[in-house]
Structures are given as C-alpha cells and as structure tokens.
C-alpha cells in the first residue's frame, strides 16, 4: 500500500497518547478538550493534504541512499563512505551538536550535483520538489558582486524563515566559485554549535557547497599517479600533512614524491585530503577568506576525482539502460567516448566534462 495511504506507526502512537490526554482533560474542562481534539485533527488533516516536517515526508531512507551511491556513482571511492556515514549519523541523531556541512570539490560533471540529488531523493518524500529543499546558484541568485550586502540580508532571512518551518531543511549552494566573496560569512551563526539562534534551532539542517575549486589539483595528482604506473584507487596522502599549508606548487612536488614511493589512489583517506581542499577553498572561490573555514564550521571537504574512460563508459551504459537501450553495441559506446573532450589531449585520459554531456551525445548517435 502506498506510504501516503496509511498513518506511520509512530504517529499512531503519538495520536493515541494525545487523545488519551484530551480524554483526561475533558472530565475537568470540556472546552479545553474540544480545542485539543480540534488541534490534533487539524494537524493530521494538514499533513494528509500537504507536506509536513515529519515522517513520512522527511525521513532517511538509508538503504536507498546506499544503493544509489554504490550503483549510480562511478569513480569516487572516498565520496560514498563519507556521505553514508555522515548522513546516517546526522539524521539518526535527535539532537545533533551542529548542522551537517559539506563542501564538495572537483571538476564539472563528476558527480557533485548528482550526489546532492541522491541525498535529497533519499531524505525527502517529494524529493527535489519538497518545500524543505533549497537550491541556490550564483549565476542566478547572486549575480552582482557589488550587492553582497543585500544578498546577505536576503540569505539570512531565507534560511531563518525556512528552518523555522522545518528544522530538517537542506540548503545547496552551486557554482560556489562565482559567489561574491564574503557572502557566506552571514551563515556563520547558523553553522556553529549554538543551540538556539534568534529562537530557532539550526542544528538539524544540512548545508552543501559545490565548487570546482581544487579540481585541477586533484586531476594533476591522479595524472601524476598514472604516469608512475600506479593505480588511481590506492593513493595515500597522509604523508603530505606537514606541507598542506604551503603553496600549491610545493604541495604538488611533495605529492609526486609520495607517488614515487608506491602509494595508490584508493588508499587515500578523507581526513588526509581535507586539509588540501580546505587550504584551496580558503584562498579562492566563494569561500575565499571565509569565516566558515577559519572557524572550522565545514565538517567535510569532500574530493571528487576526475573520471577516466572506464568511469565514463559506466555512465553511458547507465544512461542507455535508463532509455531502455541496453543492447547497444560496444562500437557505438566507444564512438560516444571518442567524441568527448579529454585531458591531456595526447593521452585522452580524463574527461573534461565528466559524465555531463553523455545524454546529449547519445541523442546524436541513436
């Protein structure tokens, strides 16, 4: 039976508890009891007609989240466990210590927006159409850098109003590289450990920042690894922490030394890469000199690696299956791959657009 046809078990329990309390009150004050019954009926009537910040409209589908990440996301061995553990921990905590804050980094088309969508799809029943999901794009919402003061006021009011409506709201900021510098400092009070700010608890909310910052650094790292004959899945970077505050050029020199020592891509741990991305984000893009970084308010700097031919091939197969075209010949798939732009041009190892242009390319050849 569809979920919206039945009242969840926990709500039935709550309903009867409230009703029992009303029955006790009615013996002493029938008018108060009548008001209580009306309020209870009104709540459940409202939630049957529209979206409420409660089950089943807002609830983590962990099984679905794990399935979608492990079967639909390609080439991102660090991203999957990071998202699964952090989302599960945050959503299952009835009183988290602070909002959950991600900063996704990497080239375009490699899964940053896709992972954000997967998270939304597995928390909100109405998915991206939920009124508790808020998406901002710098090229649409924050186009004039000289109006950052106005944008701050608007953003502050928007977040305050919507978290007041639903503490489990999610806010996604795309094209972070084009955001006006200093804009996100207005979020500082919302993202800390404060229990209440202006009468509102923000600690159950989720914030996701999407940025291309650090993408070139990650691409160079993976490419140098390949040149040394190592697998991209086994890179270790924990030896790099002493030099993470140095300039990018010196950092890359040190990374090369580690690759020469036989470290592999898939052995990279998130905590080993976060300082690299944090340093990069602090010095460029929408988080440049941001208090969010200076005050350690971003919980996870998540690296998205550039996609190689095998990963993009998997994206093509996924899209063909979605269209019901699973029987397409490998020659056609190879032709679609050859039609994409790759880096470096002579070796054609990493897709410049990731999987972003796959759908259009398939439309041209089929």
pTM above 0.85, yes or no: no
H or E element in which residue 194 lies: none
DSSP secondary structure letters along 294-322: HTT---EEEE-PPPBHHHHHHHHHHHHHH
Separation between Cα atoms, residue 128 and residue 117, nearest integer Å: 7
User: For residue 300, how many C-alpha atoms fall within 13 Å in the half-sphere facing its CB?
Assistant: 24
Separation between Cα atoms, residue 273 and residue 43, nearest integer Å: 47
165 and 53 Cβ atoms separated by less than 8 Å: yes
Task: Compute CA distances 347 → 106, 196, 267, 309, 341, whole Å.
Answer: 21, 54, 25, 11, 11
Q: In sequence order, what are the residues at sequence separation of 6 or more whose Cβ sits closer than 8 angstroms to the Cβ of residue 313? A: 333, 337
What is 62-211's CATH number?
A: 3.40.50.300
Q: pLDDT (tens digit, 9 = 90+) per residue, 183-198?
A: 888 888 899 888 888 8
Q: Six-digit token pair at 68?
A: 């979608």
Omega before residue 48 within 30° of 0, cis:
no
> What is the structure's pLDDT at 22?
45
Q: Six-digit token pair at 148?
A: 């950052």
Separation between Cα atoms, residue 146 and residue 227, nearest integer Å: 45
> What is the structure's pLDDT at 277?
55
Stretches where the chain sits below pLDDT 70 are: 1-46, 48, 214-218, 220-225, 230, 232, 234-294
């Amino acid at each position: 039976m569809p979920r919206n046809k039945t009242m969840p078990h926990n709500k039935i329990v709550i309903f009867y508890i409230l009703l029992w309390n009303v029955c006790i009150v009615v013996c002493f004050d029938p008018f108060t009891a009548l008001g209580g019954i009306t309020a209870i009926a009104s709540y459940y009537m409202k939630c049957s007609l529209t979206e409420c910040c409660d089950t089943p409209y807002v609830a983590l589908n962990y099984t679905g989240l794990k399935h979608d990440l492990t079967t639909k996301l390609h080439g991102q061995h660090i991203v999957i466990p990071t998202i699964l553990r952090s989302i599960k921990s945050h959503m299952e905590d009835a009183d988290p210590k602070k909002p959950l804050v991600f900063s996704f980094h990497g080239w375009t088309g490699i899964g940053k927006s896709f992972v954000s969508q997967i998270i939304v799809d597995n928390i909100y029943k109405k998915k991206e159409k939920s009124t508790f999901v808020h998406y901002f794009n710098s090229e649409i919402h924050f186009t004039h850098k000289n109006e950052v003061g106005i944008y701050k006021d608007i953003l502050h009011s928007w977040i305050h109003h919507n978290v007041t409506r639903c503490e489990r709201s999610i806010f996604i900021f795309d094209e972070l590289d084009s955001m006006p510098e200093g804009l996100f400092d207005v979020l500082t009070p919302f993202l800390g450990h404060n229990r209440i700010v202006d009468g509102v608890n923000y600690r159950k909310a989720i914030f996701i920042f999407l940025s291309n910052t650090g993408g070139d650094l990650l691409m160079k790292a993976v490419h140098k690894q390949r040149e040394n004959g190592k697998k991209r899945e086994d890179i270790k970077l924990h030896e790099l922490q002493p030099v993470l505050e140095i300039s990018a050029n010196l950092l890359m020199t040190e990374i090369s030394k580690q690759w020469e020592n036989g470290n592999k891509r898939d052995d990279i741990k998130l905590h080993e890469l976060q300082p690299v991305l944090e340093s990069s984000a602090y010095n460029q893009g929408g988080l440049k000199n941001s208090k969010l970084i200076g005050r350690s308010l971003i919980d996870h700097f998540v690296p998205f690696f550039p996609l190689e031919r095998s990963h993009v091939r998997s994206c093509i197969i996924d899209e063909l299956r979605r269209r019901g075209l699973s029987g397409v010949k490998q020659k056609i798939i190879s032709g679609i791959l050859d039609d994409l732009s790759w880096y470096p041009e002579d070796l054609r190892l990493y897709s410049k657009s990731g999987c972003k242009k796959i759908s259009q390319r398939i439309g041209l050849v089929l």
